[in-house]
Amino acid sequence: MKAILESYQISQIVKYRYPFLLIDKVTEYVKGERLKAVKAVSMGEPYFSGHFPDFPIMPGVLITEALAQTSSLMTVLDSLDWQAGSEIPTSEATSMGVLGSVQISFLQSVLPGNLLELEVSIDWKKGSASSVNVKASVEGSICAKGKITVMSVDKSKISS
């Protein structure tokens, strides 16, 4: 799976950091349409020590967060004049995607050692809001799917 953005590049755009950046690389991006990314789920993830020690599974809220981060990343990339393979315009990213609403169904557990595939595609856009179809899968089996609404917010208008 060839990366078009690595985690260090992603963190320059969306400003998430370890341990909360839940996207390891972007493998596909079509402006205004879709983005595909992956998260390598490791036994070393901090949440596995308590969720659950005898049967470690990735918490659904973190799968949801990974899908929300992927949706947010797509929203920010869509606001930039960027094409896969070109230099990352991190200084131009004046907007950020923030979560508006979530509807997710969980269908299968995500375990340590899984490569979580994250797929998001635009359902509709209206003003600064986008409805995004989201899907998380492992080896072609869907683990979670649903819709997330993301709003594009001007970073200069967020109070510190």
- Amino acid type, 59: P
Q: Active-site residue among 51, 125, 145, 147?
A: 51
Indicate if 51 belongs to the active site.
yes
Residues 7-32: tens digit of each pLDDT: 989 988 888 888 899 999 999 999 99
Two structure tokens written together for 38: 């992956």
- Specify the pLDDT at position 159: 56
Range of the domain at 151: 5-157
Q: Which residues contact 121 (CB under 8 A, 6 or more apart)?
A: 33, 34, 35, 132, 133
- Specify the pLDDT at position 20: 92
103 pLDDT more than 70 = yes
Q: Are 69 and 18 in contact (CB under 8 A)?
A: no
CATH number assigned to the domain comprising residue 31: 3.10.129.10
Q: How confident is the model at residue 92 (pLDDT cuts 50, 70, 90)?
A: low
Choose among 96, 78, 84, 85: nearest CA to 13.
Answer: 96
Number of domains within the chain = 1
Q: Which residues contact 87 (CB under 8 A, 6 or more apart)?
A: none
91 pLDDT more than 90 = no
pLDDT, mean of residues 79-108: 81
What percent of the chain has pLDDT above 70?
Answer: 94
